[in-house]
Structure 1
Amino acid sequence: MASPPVTELTDRAREIFRLVVEDYLSSGQPVGSKSLALRRDINLSPASIRSVLSDLERLGLLAAPHTSAGRMPTEVGLRLFVDGMMQAAEPTREERAAIEAQLSQPGPIEQALETTSAILSDLSGAAGMVMVPQREPRVAQMNIVPLDARRALVVLVGEDGTIENRLLDLPNGVSTSSLQQASNYITARLAGRTLGEASRAIEQEIKSGRSALDEASQDLVTRGLVTWSEDAARRKVLIVRGQANLLDENAMGDIERIRSLIDDLENKQSVAELLDSARVADAMRIFIGAENRLFALSGSSVIAAPYRDREGRVVGVLGVIGPTRLNYARVVPMVDFTARSLGKRIG
């Protein structure tokens, strides 16, 4: 169900709707007409407020969990609030300083990613998530090392000293000399380039007939590059911290939903694929409840933002996941600031 435009609501309905959503996101509890009538900024009787609440309920923006309970925003209502009414609260000076201080600590990038996930969890009160950057290091050397008659190990050494391995299935009858020729050929053309740059250059050279390789070695070169490139592209590593934050006092009454959310987080590949949509969109993404089928049962929300390296390229995604009653006005700008701070740390 699509939400009506904010402009279709009367000023009175818009104000009451905003107050209901803000109170619900703050307390996690349905908001009643009596509590709204006690507010000094609303000069309406409880009966008038109940009439407006009923109108908002008919529009699908609010719902009452029980007959005698107050109202709470639906997922459609939350989407309307986030997109058209939310007043973002930027991180405080102290919060910004704390985030930057923690991310500026010396150490390997993996440590900074772990720290980022913990920061997101602590500041949001939800679970923090960071996708490890899919980086393309400059390559120093690639070797194809035979393991037996049918398998070889493709070893790639980066200019930064990183070493990664991939298994390669060999065709029948491949000689040791062909493996060595392929290794020498790849290394000579990889040095100083990213794998993608070298792959394109080698492919063009082979297609144009300028390669001095025999047919068997050409096949090994192609197999080696494809094996390494495809595996790297598929691999999405997700760091999650703060799952315990999901088990707050409000969650205890809805333990099945929380159990479903924990199960979702255990399936890190699916969550990583969801986060990856923020990389493709190149912008902040907010998923509320059943808007994404992955969280249709748990009714969870995800706020995700891409982070960039110093050259402005998107290299990963970070975010938070929690119940739909996240404090969006505070968490959204905090996630954005953390993404920009981590980007300064990425080389």
Structure 2
Amino acid sequence: MNSPPLIELTTRARDIFRLVVEGYLASGQPVGSKTLAGQGVELSPASIRSVLAELEGLGLLASPHTSAGRMPTDLGLRLFVDGMMQVAEPSPEERAAIREQLGAPGPVEAALERTSALLSDLSGAAGMVMVPRREPRLAQLSLIPVAQGRALAVLVGEDGQVENRMLELGRAVDPAALEAAGNYATARLCGRTLPEAVKAIRREIDSGRSQLDAASRDLVERGIAVWSEDAAERPVLIVRGQAKLLDDDALDDIERVRSLLDDLESKQSVAALLDDAREAEATRIFIGSENRLFSLSGSSVIAAPYRDREGKVVGVLGVIGPTRLNYARVVPMVDFTANSLSKLIG
């Protein structure tokens, strides 16, 4: 069901609808006719209730069974966000805090960790950053015997990152063969990405140009493959601030929050959702049941892509929280953080 255009609502209905949404986003509680009358609505309580019923009939408001007040539906929130919301740009203090966190010395990965935590702190929700999909380039491969039939693959990337992976060889291997395999891989494959390295080694082996014996060739392939497989399976999403979802209001809706936390545990699924924002030119907002992943938990996601120096989208960042997020404040904050991170990466 699509929300009705704003022009189909009377001025009176628009004003009351806006007050209900803003009141709900501020308090997390349904808004009743008495509250609206106290906010300067120049209508009798009966007339206000009539307008509320009209908005409910349009699917924009709902009345929980525990309260006589109204709260916006996902459809109503979408209408408000798209047509009525007046954004509040990040304050100078917030901008300074974002720049300070992103500008701290250290690798990009550390900046991404800080970005996720920062978004959580500023929004009061959980912060998320999808890590750029980068293929490491090989600088060195060492194979070290550690036990009968086992060896440790020590892989060093050009960026200085070191990874250790255990190889199950299934048989005893001469340490000299391990050393020869490591030296061969380092000499031939230095500077190549893992897919490039695998193709190159197989080409050389298939053409008969490899100077290694069959056992050493197997070791080289195993050593490279174990890094490649691990990189493909590694979670690409950093989530921080899940505890902020457990606020006082969450105690009244603990099943929804538990469902949301379960969703966040499935990082690959959340990353797939954020992937939808990769092609967007600006910040995207996913509200409640609009997305199947969060339909049960009734949560919203605000996400924006960030880019490298060539302007290519390399990742997505954002926040996730209850549908009563302060969209007017969080949307520009996410957008500013994405732009700042793009400048850092560029």
User: Normalising by the residue count of structure 2, what TM-score does the alignment of the two structures yield?
Assistant: 0.81
- Aligned residue-pair number: 342
The answer on whether the counterparts of 2:3 and 2:76 sit within 8 Å (CA) in structure 1 is no
Give the 3-state SS of the residue equivalent to 1:147 in structure 2.
Answer: strand
2:128 is matched with 129
The answer on whether the counterparts of 1:23 and 1:31 sit within 8 Å (CA) in structure 2 is yes
Q: CA RMSD in A?
A: 3.3
CA distance in 1, matches of 2:145, 2:47: 80
**CA offset digits 1:78-109 (Å, max 9, x no partner):** 23433454333322333212211232122454
CA distance in 1, matches of 2:313, 2:167: 30
CA distance in 1, matches of 2:166, 2:310: 32
CA distance in 2, matches of 1:11, 1:205: 74
CA distance in 2, matches of 1:280, 1:168: 37
The answer on whether the counterparts of 2:137 and 2:191 sit within 8 Å (CA) in structure 1 is yes
Work out which of the residue numbers 266, 269, 276 in structure 2 matches 1:273: 269
1:23 and 2:23 equivalent? yes
1:86 and 2:85 equivalent? yes
The amino acid of 2:164's aligned partner reads N
CA distance in 2, matches of 1:200, 1:56: 62
**Given the superposition, is the C-alpha separation of residues 327 and 252 from structure 1 closer, same or farther in structure 2, using an over 3 Å criterion?**
same
**CA offset digits 1:35-69 (Å, max 9, x no partner):** 334555x6655444433322322232211013752
- Runs of 5+ in structure 1 lacking a partner? none
**1:181-330 matches, cutoff 5 A:** 181-206=180-205, 211-236=210-235, 238-265=237-264, 267=265, 270-279=266-275, 281-282=277-278, 283=280, 284-292=283-291, 294-330=293-329
2:33 is matched with 33
CA distance in 1, matches of 2:203, 2:89: 50
The amino acid of 2:21's aligned partner reads V
CA distance in 2, matches of 1:80, 1:331: 17
- Runs of 5+ in structure 2 lacking a partner? none
The amino acid of 2:270's aligned partner reads L
Give the 3-state SS of the residue equivalent to 1:167 in structure 2.
Answer: strand
CA distance in 2, matches of 1:342, 1:280: 19
**Given the superposition, is the C-alpha separation of residues 229 and 306 from structure 1 closer, same or farther in structure 2, using an over 3 Å criterion?**
farther
Cα distance, 1:328 vs. partner? Answer: 1.3
Cα distance, 1:181 vs. partner? Answer: 4.3
1:170 and 2:166 equivalent? no
1:72 is matched with 71
CA distance in 2, matches of 1:251, 1:293: 21
1:344 is matched with 343
**CA offset digits 1:210-244 (Å, max 9, x no partner):** 54554444443333322211211211165444344
CA distance in 2, matches of 1:184, 1:227: 17
Cα distance, 1:71 vs. partner? Answer: 0.9
The answer on whether the counterparts of 1:276 and 1:317 sit within 8 Å (CA) in structure 2 is no
**Given the superposition, is the C-alpha separation of residues 38 and 280 from structure 1 closer, same or farther in structure 2, using an over 3 Å criterion?**
closer
Cα distance, 1:326 vs. partner? Answer: 0.2
The answer on whether the counterparts of 1:140 and 1:191 sit within 8 Å (CA) in structure 2 is yes
The answer on whether the counterparts of 1:309 and 1:315 sit within 8 Å (CA) in structure 2 is yes
**Given the superposition, is the C-alpha separation of residues 319 and 68 from structure 1 closer, same or farther in structure 2, using an over 3 Å criterion?**
closer
**Given the superposition, is the C-alpha separation of residues 219 and 18 from structure 1 closer, same or farther in structure 2, using an over 3 Å criterion?**
farther
